[in-house]
Amino acid sequence: MSSKTLVDAWIDVHAHFSPPRSVEQRSAMWQALQQDHWSGEQPPDWSLDERLAYMDKVGISMQMLSSVPTNHAALEASNRYGAEWVARHPARFGLLAGLPTDDAEAALRELARAEALDADGFAVYCQYNGVFLSDPRLESLWAALDERAAVVFVHPDHAVPGQFSRPGVLLEVAYQTASVITDMLYAEVFRRYPSIRFILAHCGGALPALSGRLILLGNESWVPNPQRISQKEMREQLAALYLDTAMTGSQQSLSAGLAMTCAEHLVYGSDCGAPCTTEHTAIVNIEQLLAFSGLRREQIEQIGRNALALFPKAALRIQDAQ
């Protein structure tokens, strides 16, 4: 590890980006944030050069870029733009192509386009234009992703409204992740498509902390369970999920995550590029992760590299650049 960096050659699976925004687009985004109780100053956009400078400063070898605009045309354009970043810096960036999961056929078409762009994996929202990932209309998409043994990054809807005059990205996004993943569990998505590797943003939101309650009570007679998912299946399917560490590198969050899954299924994530993330909070999150007492130092270091096994094409690009 360089004496000037926090970590050595980590892979960041949770990095946002967007094509350049016009003044009008930035103004509209800021107005939407203010309507969701944001205070303070307007968050800045991250440029490519600023992103690379941050990565070099901290010690991040590669970021897996993801963006899931809720307009289909904008999503397609965003995927193309992300692929341009990867083409310019193949050893520094990978692409998790966004999929429009409000329409299975549209998502399958975008999947084909993403494969033509040589995407490393895929990104989806828990809820996209009102459609949840547990919706049965998405069966054909899950089947196609399972056939490919794809890596799918699951992120909450950034526009989920806040409560009590605080932004939704503070807590509500964590609740949404827990609710939607639970419904996917009951809908047999994980049982029927076991080859998909799912990465949950923000250490799974509130799911790890509530997983014990879910396993204890989820099979009781008063809980609808038409597919008869057993306690054993719940435990095993939750343990098979991957969790990133974006804004959840603390003792509390990681302890809950480890109770649900294992250290090998923790992957580093920063939430870089999100309006709610600053360079300061991203660095503090890494410092908390490095100070976590529930794992040995070598296990913590491995969290920063676990993603290499999930993204072999990206790992090869890094290797070829050395």
CATH code (residue 305): 3.20.20.140
- Cα–Cα distance measured from residue 48 to residue 275, given in angstroms and rounded to the nearest whole number: 16
- Asked, for residue 268, whether it belongs to a domain, the answer is yes
Domain limits for position 250: 10-321
Structural domains counted in the chain: 1
pTM for this model (two decimals):
0.96
Is 121 part of any domain? yes
Q: Per residue in 264-301, pLDDT tens?
A: 999 999 999 999 999 999 999 999 999 999 999 999 99
pLDDT, tens digit (0-9, with 9 covering 90-100), for 165-183: 999 999 999 999 999 999 9
**Within-domain flag for 4:** no
- Is the CB of residue 196 less than 8 Å from the CB of residue 142? yes
Residue 66 lies in a domain: yes
Rounded CA separation 160/36 (Å):
9
Question: Is residue 1, in this structure, part of any structural domain at all?
Answer: no
Residue 23 in domain: yes
Q: Which amino acid is at 105?
A: E
pLDDT lower than 70: segments of the chain: 1-3
Residues pairing with 167 in the sheet: none
- Region for 149 from its dihedrals, namely left if φ exceeds 0, alpha if ψ lies in -120 to 50, beta otherwise: left
- Quote the distance between the C-alpha of residue 172 and its chain's center: 16
Name the residue among 136, 62, 132 with its Cα closest to residue 95: 62
Tell me whether residue 27 is in a domain: yes
| Positive or negative: CA dihedral 127, 133, 137, 138 | positive
